[in-house]
A and B are shown apart, each in its own frame.
Chain A
């Protein structure tokens, strides 16, 4: 029998991290993700793990850097303003090719913003997590079950590609309670980390975690090499398709917006509009191929997101601006209503016909 438990999204992420073998968590309190820290504080001491509440987000991400450099699975979680503070560390992790899982349960911004759900850190997550040329793997769950599953996957991907993987959720997903099958915790990939700072034991040359290269040629070649590795990651881009086969209108949405969009799509279908959903599961790499293929038959697109329009740029780029793309958005912590999405679908359907 499936081992289903009722959990908050935030708790599912924490439980998944433990399932994935993460025994080192470093965090700093911020709403609406504190349940992750609380869960870790409760569980870690009982299984011989480390829960440490750092003095700041900056310290927390650098503790992650140290633990990752030592070769262990490690995680930190935060929400939007806290992720901004972590951006220095994210860049250094990338520069030193260190794996780690970062959770961002987004809230409205900019600045201190609010504490209600948002998706306005999309650019930050997929474009500019910190200074320099680098990417993070960005996974976008839409259910509590997926928060569990994708967190486990994030640890595997981070280790496999020696890069940071972010779980990009939002305040609503973090707080919602749903049954989760936690027995699905699959066997973890164990990757030999011969680069880790475990102490030489006087048996090997010393290892180094570093991102400083004063020779421009050397740094350029390292960056190019890193982006060659990213090409392999890009092969992993994926999305969920819902009623897209005959769709004239394609709605593109991730996270909580995708759930709202599904309801809207069901209602619009009853009105006779052929509409479907492409839900990116990986935001970086973005499922460009799925969208490009859909653009061959679809007449118009609707992007639903809780920002002033960020993912819409990836959609437009993916379909090479070949079809109209309408934005249906709320911001500042507001969540779109299904009626707003239906309205946008109707408009897109009209525009697609003309």
Chain B
């Protein structure tokens, strides 16, 4: 019998720890599929973040480094500069990348550091129990914005793709979503392109994935997808924000 669907080889055969309705599992799978298709698992080093996906290092078959909160782009820089022929990716959440690690991500992009960033935006801090993130929407209720994010006191959300696309060193920045089969397919294409750009030494590439956090949003998985569609998609428009290849 022909096997039409299987576990990607780049994923370890370990049950993951993520909450029901969380999209980290999908993203892990997409990254692993891309690693299989490009046949790069043996030459890839991933950098795991601090946060819910800190255990990403257990799930990928490639070499992995765990970085301090927000420092993944700096760790990736060291890994890439040491062995430039290796593929290096970071896997970061929004607290990690857009708050404590803002300097690291901005400067890795500005340097045109030849790495790929997988950026998971679920508009909330997950692991610590649902606090306000830099990406939390205006009015969104979280543990630390119990009356809804007030932009007067808490400031405005950071739109990462828009921000990083202004930098010369960014070769590719695209925002995708995981709320539908069509969008998941687009997400995979974007991830693959981001890795291919690194292979071609084009510079810094980032894919921002709009994701859910059923547990901390306090919604059933299906409701959470709906919330993402109704609230995040209008605020964080999908699309390619920077593509150096297309500019030529």
Interface residues of A (CB under 8 A from B): 24, 26, 50, 52, 54-56, 58-60, 62-72, 74, 88-89, 92, 96, 197-203, 206-212
Q: With A58-B71, A89-B71, A199-B45 known to touch, is A209 a contact of B78 (CB < 8 Å)?
A: no
Q: Does B218 contact A (CB under 8 A)?
A: no
Contact, CB under 8 Å: B83 / A199: yes
Binds A, one of B53-61, B208-216, B234-242: B53-61
In the complex, the 9 A-B pairs of residues with the closest C-beta atoms, listed nearest first: A66-B78, A62-B74, A70-B82, A67-B78, A202-B42, A55-B107, A66-B75, A63-B78, A197-B63
Given contacts A50-B82, A72-B83, 7 further A-B contacts (CB under 8 A): A54-B74, A64-B78, A66-B79, A69-B75, A69-B78, A70-B78, A207-B64
**Number of A-B pairs whose CB atoms are under 8 Å?**
133
Smallest beta-carbon distance B37→chain A, Å: 15
Q: How far is the CB of A144 from chain B (nearest CB, A)?
A: 29
Interface residue from A54, A88, A202, A208 paired with B65 (Cβ < 8 Å): A208
**Cα distance A209–B54 in the bound complex, in angstroms:** 12
B63 and A65 contacting across the interface, CB-CB below 8 Å = no
Contact A199 B78 (CB under 8 A): no
Contact B107 A63 (CB under 8 A): no
In B22-80, the 8 Å CB interface with A consists of 41-45, 47-48, 54, 57, 60-68, 71, 74-80
Instruction: Pick from A54, A60, A68, A199: contact of B62, CB below 8 A.
Output: A199
Tell me how many residues of B have a C-beta within 8 Å of chain A. 34
Whether A62 touches B67, Cβ cut-off 8 Å, given contacts A200-B62, A210-B57, is: yes
Residues of B within 8 A of A198 (CB): 63, 83, 86
Instruction: State how many angstroms separate the Cβ of A199 from the closest Cβ of chain B.
Output: 4
Q: Are A56 and B103 in contact (CB under 8 A)?
A: yes
**Known A54-B74, A55-B107, A59-B104: A71·B82 in contact at CB below 8 Å:** yes
| Chain B minimum-CB-distance residue to A58 | B71
Residues of B within 8 A of A89 (CB): 68, 71
Name B79's contact: one of A69, A88, A206, A210 (CB within 8 Å): A69
| Cβ distance B75 to chain A, nearest Cβ, rounded Å | 4
Given known contacts A52-B81, A56-B103, A59-B103, A206 and B74 CB-to-CB distance under 8 angstroms: no
B45 and A201 contact, CB distance less than 8 A: no
A195 to chain B, nearest CB (A): 10
Report the bound CA distance from A297 to B1 in whole Å: 87
Contact indicator A70/B68 (Cβ below 8 Å): no
Contacts of B45 in A (CB 8 A): 70, 197, 199
Chain B positions within 8 Å of A210 at CB level: 48, 57, 64-66
What are 6 A-B contacts with C-beta separation under 8 Å? A26-B78, A56-B103, A59-B107, A66-B65, A92-B68, A207-B64
B82 and A72 contact, CB distance less than 8 A? yes
User: From residue B104, how far is it (CB to closest CB) to chain A in Å?
Assistant: 6
CA distance A55 to B60 in the complex (A): 30
A199 touches B81 (CB 8 A): no
A26, A66, A207: which has the most chain B beta carbons within 10 Å? Answer: A66
A88 touches B42 (CB 8 A): no
What residue in chain A is nearest B67 (Cβ atoms)? A62
Q: Which residues of B contact A58 (CB under 8 A)?
A: 71, 74, 103-104
Closest approach, in angstroms, between the C-beta of B166 and any C-beta of chain A?
17
Q: A224 vs B82: C-alpha distance in the bound complex, in angstroms?
A: 31
Q: CB distance B103 to A55 under 8 Å? A: yes
B54 x A206 contact (CB < 8 A): no
8 Å CB contact of B71 from A59, A209, A212: A59
